[in-house]
Structure 1
Amino acid sequence: MTLSIRTHIELIAAVFSGILIAFAWWISSNGDTPLSITLFVLAFLIGGYAKAKEGILETVKNRTLNVEILMILAAVGASAIGYWTEGAVLIFIFALSGALETYTMNKSKREISALMELQPEEAWLMADSGDLIRTAVSDLQVGQKILVKPGERVPIDGLLLEGTTSIDEAAITGESIPVTKTSGQEVFAGTVNLDGTIKVEMTKSTSDSLFQKIIQMVQSAESEKSPSQQFIERFESTYVKIVLAAVALMMVLPHFAFEWDWNTTIYRAMVLLVVASPCALVASIMPATLAAISNGARNGILFKGGVHIEQIGHITTLAVDKTGTLTKGTPVVTHFSVRSGLSEEAALSKIASIESGSNHPLAHAILAFANEKQIPIDSTLHVKDIPGFGLEAMMQGELIQVGKADLVGAERALQFNNGIAVTWANEGNTILYAADDQGIFAAAALKDEIREETHVTIQQLKELGIEVVMLTGDNEQTATVIGNEAGVSSVIANCLPASKVDEIKKLLGTNKKVAMVGDGINDAPALATANVGIAMGQGTDVALETADLVLMKNDLSKIVYSIKLSRKMNRIIKQNVFFSIAVILVLIASNFMQVINLPLGVIGHEGSTILVILNGLRMLKNN
């Protein structure tokens, strides 16, 4: 039975038990009857089965008592002295709360399978005879050579032996601009070969590849319990032991110490068991949490569990990825310059016509720029791809080249239009050059621009007392420029996935509460390591699955809303916990002084539960 099906069955069972209780209460309005008692017992069995089973199994497994056991004993104790309705209501409230909590906290575990899907299962093995053999990646051995064709994912970690190409390493580094790879350079499993056919020698076993290490880091981070969770488990066990010990003493001590008769002693012990039941304590947290989660969903924020919405309000540092998080994730043309005597329209038409035959992200940016200016494009050209450098084609009997500085002449590129490209590069741009028989005739600057809301959001985070640190796979120059534009507190560049995890652990090691926001596969380990992982809604599947909350509309400002929502919820929970504990203490004292009876005890107990629920539902209102 899957977790999803089990969760629905628990909820249906809780609701059905509530219906039975209402019907039994109506029948017993003039006194208990065999039919009403039968219905109450059915309600006990149907509504309490799941929590009773969970409590018993956990008690046996962990050798410690829990709240589930206490609730069952309280309900049975109330029924044992003739208060069937009160006992059944306790079961219903606890069962319903448990089912809703299980349903809400049902976090998907598909992130590992999502990661695995991105690594090819087969590769082209180059046999000693020179033949290409389609081979399972798991059967490859270190030292063997494989062929990777354009458009294919690299299946292994290895050394590039032959060929030049552009590699999309977004899956590993998060870098939006493909990286040129030549002989002698390292390539990683899970990255995409964009241009040329390459030969790669396997240098690491499949289990030791960087991609597999990402998977292992996600698994390791998710298996570690948070300090809050550990505290809750310890508190639960201690609470149950104290209550049961108090009830046991109550069943004996007053008879000898205060000369109560045995009927009074046992009756007061049962009242204590009921009024000390943690219904109000449970309701102090869950309704407020569910309301906050509903509020977040209504505002485009998907929380994957109550613990995460609680923790984000405590963060002191926000670590952010650059590409697709602070920035839009796709390059755009920021500057365009042509040599004297040539019109921008004519130059752009030549460049866009050649780029129309490429799937490179920079080509898409050039085409978008040309379309915006309504520049005519000739898409019938025969374009030659020069892997790792750019493109070239014959236009009206003239060879036109579009690409990197090395393609058109690095020295000429530096001197073009008084060295304007140097200025652009210092601003964090990637430079694309175009040359004809007379030399360079145009240069375009392309950049992954920051989102419109980025600067304002970071300022608001700082006002909330939160430090913002940018972690990126970009080079130092580009990272610094983007970091300054966004207004982040500090920048850490050249980050591989392991580096991001190390940086997160360093922050955690200084007793800071850290949240990480990202959108790529490379961000998954860091998302899982941080106290709270935040994913952009349009990010990769694995980032969405690993994260603790998702910004469905890719709106960074929702992080600020999430923090404010969390802090409000935490205040309400503290109010509820203080109030519910105070009521329990008052009821316990009143019971010991024989001021209240069981019905009043149940009324006081359930009344406090209703009040904390209503207080928690205030979270449904927008901030």
Structure 2
Amino acid sequence: MDETIDWKVEGMSCTNCALSVEKLLKSKGAQNVSVNFIGGEVSFNKPDNTSLLSIEKEINQLGYHVANSSTEVKSQQVKKLFKNHLQRFLFCLIFTIPLWLHMFIHATILMNEWWQLALTIPVFIVGMDFFGKSGWRSLRKGVPNMNVLVAVGAIASFGYSLYGTFSGNPESFMFYETTATIITLVFMGNWLEDRSVQQTRAALNSLVVSQKIQANMIVYGENHEEHILPVDSKSLKTGDLILIKSGEYVPMDCKILSGSASVDESILTGESLPIEKTQGNNLIGSSIVTDGNVKAYVTAVGKETVLQSILKMVKEAQAEKPPMQQLADKISAIFIPTVLGIAVLCFLGNYFVADYSFSTSLLRSVAVLVIACPCAMGLATPAAIAVGLGRAAKHGILFKNARSLEVFKDIRQIVFDKTGTLTTGEFSISNFSVIGNVSEDDFKRIIFSMEKFSNHPIAKTITKNWKTSHTYIWKKIEEIKGIGLKAEDKDGNIFWAASYKKAKGLTPELSHNIYLIKNDLLLGWIDVQDKIRPEVQDVVNQLHRSGLKTILLSGDSEQKCTAIAKQIGIDVFYAEQTPEQKLEKITALNADLPTAMVGDGINDAPALAKATIGISLSDASQIAIQSAQVILMNDGLKSLPLALGLGKHTYSTIKQNLFWAFAYNIVAIPVACFGLLSPSFAALAMGFSDIILGFNSIRLRWKNVS
């Protein structure tokens, strides 16, 4: 089995960076490469013939840094003078400001070529140490990055100025100020860009409890006396007993053994009101006990916890490339060589065709190099996706892939299952009747012995209310989707605990929930009551106001589906549907209009997988969760309008970002080519182009999208 490597790589700021790392890993034989520059996550299958040590070294040589590298690599790393772009910017600014002073102060020394050379050299060295090295290494790896353009522009202006200084005609070749300004302002732009990228992660980062959580572990002495030991939560193991007191964080996922508490789970669900938890309830790690004390045992630690699973799912969704990003990626991959070619043509056209001086032609070509911004195109989609996914996760909405977030824009109709989706799934037995030649106790015992093998909400209700230790032992039992349970005893008798579909022909009363049948003889029936979820009416009304069509698709009887559809105002309903019929109906609806399906049961799984978007609730069956692309964590539908709104607004933000990125480069490059922009202003414009794009993405964090 291939070993999966997960690295944290720092220094990536756009798709072009991610492409460089991805291409390097693939060239080394790595498979299943996934690079998410927004979060810095890099995942791949370890190649057979290449050591991880050599791959780490080459990534570091590209200008990035493997933060969780091995001790060997760390020991070989040279300690750098500057740790980030802010430090480089501030250092360069100290030497660049005096070069700007000649515009305000007319002093001979400020125009002296040797004085300007002395001020420029430190800036040039720092610039080449970063831009030059990174650009050269990216060229060697076959994926030229933006630093190639900055380095070429800075070298051209510095070399031209140096030639003038030593040729005895410095007045015509004084571009030291241009060199220093380009490097300084690009460092400033990179710093601002890094901050933009960090802010796009803010909603996701807020899911991680930054402080070190202490846990109160319960241990017992030789005489069974209880001791409470304070320990680091990271040292906990599955099965450990812990005490959680009022005001404390839940250190890991656990289940309550005794006590009760009010718990704030807003970190995952977005629900600000505390939830009451008692014996047998699960607690999510990193939630807060606002009131009460409980004893619990740890059910999951580390990567197995709910929070870590969610973070992993969101990061994987961020790393995935949705359809709209593919075009931007293709353009980013050829952008640098194209701009280099345009810069050469700009110089040749200005010098030979337009008959401008060598200095003017060079300045214009340098401006072209500096103003071009491949990062804007590479950042347009991931930035919006990251903010959208982060906000969704903060409100208990989990997207398994970025495509789902984008596809929401097309949804025109929402299909709902009934039981457990529109209703609470918390049933109570309202009535039952024993018809056949069997006692009431035997009737209950048979039903319990069968229903304990099912995870259906009705089955859970029956097993909870009619629990007994004297159960039937079945020779064979199976669950038939859309019908019920079929069991065979040791004597060959066939029992059914099934819906009205199996009772047809045995009784005219087909409105009950469960019928118990033995060898085609009806033994009795059970009725259960279920409540409509309190948020359903508001959600359906919001969907209608948004112009979406609502449909009920259920395996329940026509009588019950009619009643619930009428009560909450659903447009269309289809009753008495088997899983196969649900799948056929979703296929037909999809062919008509893009359709989202919301369901929670085993019988909904095929339809969830077939729908344009499958949406499941967090308390749904495992197969339904696996089949869905979107999971609503807060045990209800109230976040469904937010999920739909985030999908549509994220898509519109991506379109705005891509329009800006393409328009900026299409307009800026010709402007620089015709000499309407100096290299200094070009560097400033390039830096701020990413900031504008980043800010537009960050707006999604607080924008009203519902």
Q: Does the aligned pair in 2 maintain the 1:430–1:447 contact within 8 Å?
A: no
Aligned to 2:630: 549
Alignment map for 1:361-440 (pairs within 5 Å): 361=454, 364-366=460-462, 368=464, 379=468, 381=470, 414=507, 421-422=509-510, 424-425=511-512, 429-432=513-516
Equivalent residue pairs, number: 453
Whole-angstrom distance in 2 between the partners of 1:471 and 1:312: 20
Q: State the Cα distance separating 1:245 from its structure 2 match.
A: 5.1
Question: Is residue 615 of structure 2 the alignment partner of residue 534 of structure 1?
Answer: yes
Q: Does the aligned pair in 2 maintain the 1:78–1:86 contact within 8 Å?
A: no
Equivalent residue for 1:312, pick from 391, 394, 408: 408
Aligned to 1:566: 647
3-state SS in 2 of match to 1:252:
helix
Question: Is residue 535 of structure 2 the alignment partner of residue 457 of structure 1?
Answer: no
3-state SS in 1 of match to 2:615:
strand
Aligned to 1:26: 90
Q: State the Cα distance separating 1:300 from its structure 2 match.
A: 1.0
Q: Does the aligned pair in 2 maintain the 1:74–1:87 contact within 8 Å?
A: no
Alignment map for 1:317-332 (pairs within 5 Å): 317-321=413-417, 324-328=420-424, 332=428
3-state SS in 2 of match to 1:4:
strand
Q: Does the aligned pair in 1 maintain the 2:89–2:187 contact within 8 Å?
A: no
3-state SS in 2 of match to 1:610:
helix
Alignment map for 1:159-174 (pairs within 5 Å): none
Q: State the Cα distance separating 1:453 from its structure 2 match.
A: 3.5
3-state SS in 1 of match to 2:410:
coil
Aligned to 2:105: none
Q: Specify which structure has the bigger relative contact order, considering alpha-carbon pairs within 8 angstroms and separated by 6 or more residues.
A: 1
Equivalent residue for 2:149, pick from 48, 52, 74: 74
Alignment map for 1:31-110 (pairs within 5 Å): 37=124, 39-44=126-131, 56=142, 69=144, 71-80=146-155, 81=157, 82=179, 83-88=182-187
Whole-angstrom distance in 1 between the partners of 2:398 and 2:186: 36
Q: State the Cα distance separating 1:299 from its structure 2 match.
A: 1.2
In the alignment, residue 95 of structure 2 is paired with which amino acid?
Answer: N
The gaps in structure 1 that reach 5 residues or longer are 58-68, 106-223, 340-346, 371-376, 393-400
Question: Is residue 70 of structure 2 the alignment partner of residue 5 of structure 1?
Answer: no
Whole-angstrom distance in 2 between the partners of 1:241 and 1:364: 64
Q: Does the aligned pair in 2 maintain the 1:94–1:279 contact within 8 Å?
A: no
The gaps in structure 2 that reach 5 residues or longer are 13-39, 42-63, 68-79, 97-118, 158-178, 205-319, 478-484
Whole-angstrom distance in 2 between the partners of 1:448 and 1:348: 24
Whole-angstrom distance in 1 between the partners of 2:604 and 2:453: 23
Whole-angstrom distance in 1 between the partners of 2:448 and 2:582: 36
Q: Does the aligned pair in 2 maintain the 1:312–1:566 contact within 8 Å?
A: yes
Whole-angstrom distance in 2 between the partners of 1:446 and 1:488: 26
Whole-angstrom distance in 2 between the partners of 1:507 and 1:234: 34
In the alignment, residue 273 of structure 1 is paired with which amino acid?
Answer: L
Aligned to 1:212: none
Whole-angstrom distance in 1 between the partners of 2:203 and 2:526: 50
Aligned to 2:345: 249
In the alignment, residue 346 of structure 2 is paired with which amino acid?
Answer: M
Aligned to 1:489: 572
Whole-angstrom distance in 1 between the partners of 2:66 and 2:89: 15
Q: State the Cα distance separating 1:100 from its structure 2 match.
A: 9.9
> Per the alignment, do residues 228 and 279 of structure 1 end up closer, same or farther by CA in structure 2, a change over 3 Å counting?
closer
Whole-angstrom distance in 1 between the partners of 2:339 and 2:590: 36
TM-score by length of 2: 0.51
Question: Is residue 526 of structure 2 the alignment partner of residue 444 of structure 1?
Answer: yes
In the alignment, residue 85 of structure 1 is paired with which amino acid?
Answer: T
Question: Is residue 376 of structure 2 the alignment partner of residue 295 of structure 1?
Answer: no
Q: CA RMSD in A?
A: 5.2
Whole-angstrom distance in 2 between the partners of 1:256 and 1:550: 63
Aligned to 1:275: 371
In the alignment, residue 430 of structure 1 is paired with which amino acid?
Answer: I
Q: State the Cα distance separating 1:490 from its structure 2 match.
A: 4.7
Q: Does the aligned pair in 2 maintain the 1:255–1:265 contact within 8 Å?
A: yes
3-state SS in 2 of match to 1:534:
strand
Q: State the Cα distance separating 1:583 from its structure 2 match.
A: 4.7
Aligned to 2:274: none
Aligned to 1:129: none
TM-score by length of 1: 0.57
Whole-angstrom distance in 2 between the partners of 1:412 and 1:549: 41
Whole-angstrom distance in 2 between the partners of 1:583 and 1:441: 76
> Per the alignment, do residues 88 and 363 of structure 1 end up closer, same or farther by CA in structure 2, a change over 3 Å counting?
closer
In the alignment, residue 311 of structure 1 is paired with which amino acid?
Answer: V
Aligned to 1:515: 596
Q: State the Cα distance separating 1:412 from its structure 2 match.
A: 12
Q: Does the aligned pair in 1 maintain the 2:376–2:661 contact within 8 Å?
A: yes
CA deviation vs aligned residue, 1:473-529 (integer Å, no higher than 9, x gap) = x377589558846625353865557x766655555545x434344446776665555
In the alignment, residue 7 of structure 2 is paired with which amino acid?
Answer: I
3-state SS in 2 of match to 1:313:
helix
